[in-house]
Every structure is written in C-alpha cells, then in structure tokens.
Amino acid sequence: MSLKTRSAVQVTRVESGDQEDFVALWRQSKDAEGHSGEQIDRALRDGRLTRSCARSDVRIYLACIDSEPVGYSIVMSGPVSALHDTLAVWLDVLWVKPGKRQRGIAAALLNTVAAYAEHIGAPEVVSCVPASSRDANRFFARLGFTAVVTERSTTPAALRRRLAGPEFSAVSDAVRRRRSLRARARESALVK
C-alpha cells in the first residue's frame, strides 16, 4: 500500500532581474483569462512586469512545488484610503495553475502575504476580488475576508454622457426603446 504525500510548497519573492519563472507563469494565467498573445507580449514589451518588480511598494511571490512554478500573488502596500493613514497590504492577484489547485498553494501564498503584513505593521489585508467571480468571493469569505466596499467603474465618456442632463436621457430612452423593439422582433421571428 503506497501513501500519497504532498510535496511542500515553497514561496519566494520575485526580485527585479529574477523574473523568468514568474513571467512564464504570468503568461499562462493571462492566457487562461482569455488575453490574446499580442496583449500579453505588449505588456511584456512595455515593461509593466519589470517596473512592478522594481517598485518598493509591490511584492510578487512565486509558489513552486518540486521547482515547478505553480502559483503567484502580487501585493501592494499602502493606505486603506486617501483619507486614512492606516497601512494595508492589498492582495491584487492570487493565481494558481489549473490542475494544481486544492494542494495548499493558495494557502502558502496567503501565509506569506500575512507574514509580510505583520512584518510591515499593516493591520489589514485587503483582497481585490472581481464581483463576477463567485468562486473567488466564496474562497475569500471562507478565509474571513468581509465585503467592505463595492467598487464600481465606468469610462470617462460614459460618465460624461450620464452627467449631460435630461436631453441625453431622452436620447437614451429612445435608444433603449429601439433596442427593445428589435429584440422583440427577433424573438417573434424565432417563434414563427
């Protein structure tokens, strides 16, 4: 009878100039999220990852099992908000390779994040979780993360349109009615 043992997860900080394994894993994560190869290459050419690794307020941690990169986290340190001086560690990204999940990798990365928060005296760890990701929200809720705010975003152009006043609202209503009529026409065509 053979016993299955878990290999230990090793988490290390990605330093500037030592990013090769992280970049390969980052590429995989972006590909899994549906980004095009051109978008990924452009981000690398623009030096976004290199600049992030060099920033003093950003830390990137790489998790490996048996020298194979299997997950990473990107954290930033800074105040909770512009009006409060309370320092927080912001967990911007936590990603584990599909097929390697449920092996304690995320827990190892989060332990490292918690240790970093304690090291710099940050009383809070804040996670940036997409509202549309039910699994991620449940995962963080199980770990004791609570919803504090709801962030909403829009484009400057959309905001200006909404702020334009009643004359824009009339146009919006007309566009909405036209779209509704088109949708009903398509539905009735499908029914016939």
What pLDDT is stored for residue 2 in this prediction? 43
Strands 58-65 and 68-81: antiparallel
Per-residue confidence band for 176, with pLDDT thresholds at 50, 70 and 90: confident
Q: Taking 70 as the threshold, does the pLDDT of residue 86 lie above it?
A: yes
The per-residue pLDDT for range 22-66, each reduced to its tens digit, is: 888 888 888 888 888 888 888 888 888 788 778 889 999 999 999
What ranges in the chain are assigned the alpha helix state H?
A: 20-32, 37-45, 48-54, 105-120, 134-142, 156-163, 166-191
Beta bridge pairs of residue 88: 78, 124
Q: Which residue has the tokens 């230990």?
A: 8
What's this model's pTM, rounded to 2 decimal places? 0.74
What pLDDT is stored for residue 192 in this prediction? 62
